[in-house]
Amino acid sequence: MSSIKKIQITFDCADPERVGRFWCEVLGYVPPPVPDGFETWDAYNRAQPVEKQGAWFASIDPSGEGPRLYFQRVPEGKVAKNRVHIDVRAGAGLVGEERLATLEAECARLMALGAERVQLMLADEENESCIYMRDIEGNEFCLD
């Protein structure tokens, strides 16, 4: 039996490029190489049928380590809490005030990109502190 080594995380959204570029900024990701025969992604998009233009956007980890992110346009808006979410590990390995300061600084950066801060959850007996947030279309994620 083989073991899966790579995964893709897919987001349903109204504006794939806008949400995808937000996550590129959050994670340091980049769009994948432009398809053969096109100089830019805009040129590729314009060559598609009108109904397919802007229907999706993808981003990749330039180091090749992280999963590919795929953003697809759907007609319905977000109506419920995500069943799966991304944890942005800005404070991994840090504790106490150092962790909180790191999380707060990253939270400020992400809010400048359009993210919404929802709630600071302070450390307890089981978990370190984290900040519950939403991206530019309301998808929940944790800054931890």
Q: CB neighbours (10 Å) of residue 30? A: 11
Which whole number is the average pLDDT over 28-42? 95
Burial pattern 104-135, b for ≥16 Cβ within 10 A else e, equals bebbeebeeeebeeeeeeeeeeeebbbbbbbb
Give the residue-averaged pLDDT of 117-139.
94
User: Average pLDDT of the chain?
Assistant: 93
For the chain, what percent of residues have pLDDT higher than 70?
99
pLDDT tens-digit profile of 82-115? 878 899 999 999 999 999 999 999 999 999 999 9
Residue that is last in its domain, among 20, 41, 73: 73
Cβ atoms of residues 135 and 143 within 8 Å: no
Q: 69 and 91 share a domain? A: no
Find the domain containing 62 and state its range. Answer: 8-73
- Quote the CA–CA distance of 14 and 128 in Å, as a whole number: 33
17 domain residue, yes or no? yes
Residue 33 lies in a domain: yes
pLDDT for position 1 = 63
Say how many domains are in the chain: 2
